[in-house]
Structure 1
Amino acid sequence: MDLSRATWRKASRSTNNGGNCVELAAVPGSVAVRDSKNPHGGELLLDHADFRRFVGVIKDL
Protein backbone atom coordinates (compact mmCIF):
# COMPACT_ATOMS: atom_id res chain seq x y z
CA MET A 1 0.00 0.00 0.00
CA ASP A 2 1.30 3.44 -0.92
CA LEU A 3 1.51 5.52 2.25
CA SER A 4 3.28 8.51 0.71
CA ARG A 5 0.16 10.66 1.15
CA ALA A 6 -0.81 9.33 4.58
CA THR A 7 -1.29 11.84 7.36
CA TRP A 8 0.89 10.67 10.23
CA ARG A 9 0.42 11.74 13.84
CA LYS A 10 2.56 11.04 16.86
CA ALA A 11 1.21 9.02 19.72
CA SER A 12 -0.19 11.20 22.51
CA ARG A 13 2.47 10.00 24.94
CA SER A 14 5.37 10.83 22.64
CA THR A 15 7.86 13.42 23.75
CA ASN A 16 10.46 15.41 21.87
CA ASN A 17 13.37 14.06 23.92
CA GLY A 18 14.25 11.23 21.52
CA GLY A 19 12.41 8.53 23.45
CA ASN A 20 10.50 5.58 22.04
CA CYS A 21 7.84 7.09 19.81
CA VAL A 22 5.43 5.79 17.20
CA GLU A 23 3.34 7.53 14.60
CA LEU A 24 -0.05 6.39 13.36
CA ALA A 25 -1.95 6.98 10.14
CA ALA A 26 -5.53 6.01 9.40
CA VAL A 27 -5.82 4.39 5.98
CA PRO A 28 -8.84 2.70 4.41
CA GLY A 29 -9.60 -0.41 6.47
CA SER A 30 -6.35 -0.26 8.45
CA VAL A 31 -4.08 1.64 10.78
CA ALA A 32 -0.45 2.17 9.78
CA VAL A 33 2.22 2.31 12.48
CA ARG A 34 5.83 3.47 12.10
CA ASP A 35 8.82 4.50 14.22
CA SER A 36 8.90 8.29 14.43
CA LYS A 37 12.70 8.25 14.72
CA ASN A 38 12.99 6.27 11.46
CA PRO A 39 9.97 7.23 9.33
CA HIS A 40 11.40 5.63 6.18
CA GLY A 41 12.30 2.37 7.91
CA GLY A 42 8.99 0.67 7.16
CA GLU A 43 5.42 0.55 8.36
CA LEU A 44 3.22 -2.00 10.03
CA LEU A 45 -0.33 -2.21 8.66
CA LEU A 46 -3.00 -3.60 10.98
CA ASP A 47 -6.72 -3.96 10.41
CA HIS A 48 -8.86 -2.31 13.08
CA ALA A 49 -9.41 -5.46 15.16
CA ASP A 50 -5.70 -6.33 15.14
CA PHE A 51 -4.83 -2.72 16.03
CA ARG A 52 -7.11 -2.87 19.10
CA ARG A 53 -5.40 -6.12 20.18
CA PHE A 54 -1.95 -4.56 19.53
CA VAL A 55 -2.79 -1.54 21.71
CA GLY A 56 -4.14 -3.84 24.44
CA VAL A 57 -0.90 -5.82 24.48
CA ILE A 58 1.44 -2.83 24.57
CA LYS A 59 -0.59 -1.15 27.32
CA ASP A 60 0.26 -4.12 29.53
CA LEU A 61 4.03 -3.74 29.02
Structure 2
Amino acid sequence: MRSIDLSAASWCKSSHSNQDGGACVEMSYDFAAVVPVRDSKVPHGPVLVFPASGWSCFVASLKSE
Protein backbone atom coordinates (compact mmCIF):
# COMPACT_ATOMS: atom_id res chain seq x y z
CA MET A 1 0.00 0.00 0.00
CA ARG A 2 1.49 3.33 -0.97
CA SER A 3 1.20 6.20 1.48
CA ILE A 4 -0.79 9.33 0.72
CA ASP A 5 0.47 12.78 1.69
CA LEU A 6 -2.40 14.31 3.68
CA SER A 7 -0.49 17.38 4.89
CA ALA A 8 -2.31 19.76 2.52
CA ALA A 9 -5.72 18.07 2.75
CA SER A 10 -8.70 20.27 3.49
CA TRP A 11 -11.14 18.61 5.88
CA CYS A 12 -14.90 19.02 6.13
CA LYS A 13 -16.93 17.93 9.13
CA SER A 14 -19.91 15.64 8.62
CA SER A 15 -23.24 17.44 8.77
CA HIS A 16 -24.29 14.82 11.35
CA SER A 17 -21.51 15.78 13.76
CA ASN A 18 -22.62 17.92 16.67
CA GLN A 19 -20.99 21.02 18.13
CA ASP A 20 -20.76 19.53 21.65
CA GLY A 21 -17.78 17.33 20.85
CA GLY A 22 -19.82 14.24 20.07
CA ALA A 23 -19.44 11.98 17.05
CA CYS A 24 -17.24 14.18 14.86
CA VAL A 25 -16.15 12.71 11.57
CA GLU A 26 -14.22 14.67 8.96
CA MET A 27 -13.57 13.76 5.35
CA SER A 28 -11.31 15.16 2.66
CA TYR A 29 -12.49 15.27 -0.94
CA ASP A 30 -9.17 16.56 -2.27
CA PHE A 31 -8.20 13.21 -3.80
CA ALA A 32 -9.72 11.64 -6.91
CA ALA A 33 -9.37 7.96 -6.06
CA VAL A 34 -9.66 7.91 -2.26
CA VAL A 35 -11.52 9.55 0.63
CA PRO A 36 -9.53 9.97 3.84
CA VAL A 37 -11.66 9.99 7.02
CA ARG A 38 -10.62 11.00 10.54
CA ASP A 39 -11.93 11.82 13.99
CA SER A 40 -12.02 15.63 14.25
CA LYS A 41 -11.30 15.43 17.97
CA VAL A 42 -7.94 13.78 17.16
CA PRO A 43 -6.79 15.61 14.02
CA HIS A 44 -3.23 14.25 14.22
CA GLY A 45 -4.43 10.72 14.95
CA PRO A 46 -5.02 7.86 12.55
CA VAL A 47 -6.79 8.33 9.22
CA LEU A 48 -8.83 5.70 7.43
CA VAL A 49 -8.53 5.86 3.65
CA PHE A 50 -11.38 4.42 1.59
CA PRO A 51 -11.60 3.92 -2.17
CA ALA A 52 -13.81 6.74 -3.50
CA SER A 53 -16.30 4.27 -5.00
CA GLY A 54 -16.58 2.39 -1.69
CA TRP A 55 -17.13 5.64 0.23
CA SER A 56 -19.87 6.65 -2.22
CA CYS A 57 -21.64 3.32 -1.71
CA PHE A 58 -21.31 3.64 2.08
CA VAL A 59 -22.79 7.15 2.12
CA ALA A 60 -25.62 6.13 -0.25
CA SER A 61 -26.52 3.21 2.00
CA LEU A 62 -26.69 5.52 5.02
CA LYS A 63 -28.94 7.96 3.17
CA SER A 64 -31.34 5.15 2.23
CA GLU A 65 -31.87 4.21 5.91
TM-score, normalisation: structure 2:
0.76
The Cα shift of 1:14 comes to 1.2
Please state which structure has a larger fraction of its residues in strand.
1
Deviations 1:4-51, CA, capped at 9 Å, x for gaps: 100100001111101011000011311110001101111111112211
How many residues matched?
A: 58
CA distance in 2, matches of 1:20, 1:46: 19
What is the root-mean-square deviation of aligned Cα atoms in Å? 1.3
Q: Which runs of 4+ in 1 moved over 3 A?
A: none
| Structure (1 or 2) with the larger CA radius of gyration | 2
Question: 5+ residue gaps in structure 2?
Answer: none
8 Å Cα contact 2:37/2:48 also seen in 1: yes
Q: Percent identity?
A: 43
What pairs with 1:13-52 in structure 2 (closer than 5 Å)?
13-26=16-29, 27-52=31-56
The one-letter amino acid paired with 1:2 is D
Question: 5+ residue gaps in structure 1?
Answer: none
TM-score, normalisation: structure 1:
0.81
